């Protein structure tokens, strides 16, 4: 089986994420459908996992969703300092 569909999906996901703010998986799938970039949900999940593993995207446990790793985080004061 070819890796081409997943590569295309990665490219489409990056276009969605770089166009705005952090997005959860469901919003990414919806944005892809609205842009007529139809990928199977499993392909999207695997592409998101690939992009996260490679360090291109991050998905912290803050319930805000996937974002580019290079996006700055708001600096918050430490509880201990």
Q: What is the pLDDT of residues 14-56, one digit of tens each?
A: 998 888 788 999 999 999 999 999 898 899 999 999 999 999 9
Q: How many CB atoms neighbour CB 38 within 10 A?
A: 11
Class of domain 4-68: mainly alpha
How much is the pLDDT for 60?
86
> Could you tell me the two tokens for 21?
């703010």
How much is the pLDDT for 58?
92
More confident residue, 54 or 81: 54
More confident residue, 52 or 3: 52
pTM of the model: 0.78
How much is the pLDDT for 62?
81
Dist CA 3 CA 18 (whole Å) = 23
Q: Which residues contact 81 (CB under 8 A, 6 or more apart)?
A: none
């Amino acid at each position: 089986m070819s890796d081409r569909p997943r590569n295309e999906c990665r490219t489409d996901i990056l276009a969605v994420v770089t166009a705005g703010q952090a997005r959860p998986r469901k919003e990414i799938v919806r944005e892809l459908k609205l842009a007529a970039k139809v990928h199977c949900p499993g392909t999207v999940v695997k592409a998101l996992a690939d992009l996260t593993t490679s360090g291109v995207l991050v998905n912290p446990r803050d319930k805000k969703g996937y974002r580019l790793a290079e996006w700055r985080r708001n600096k918050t004061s430490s509880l201990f300092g």
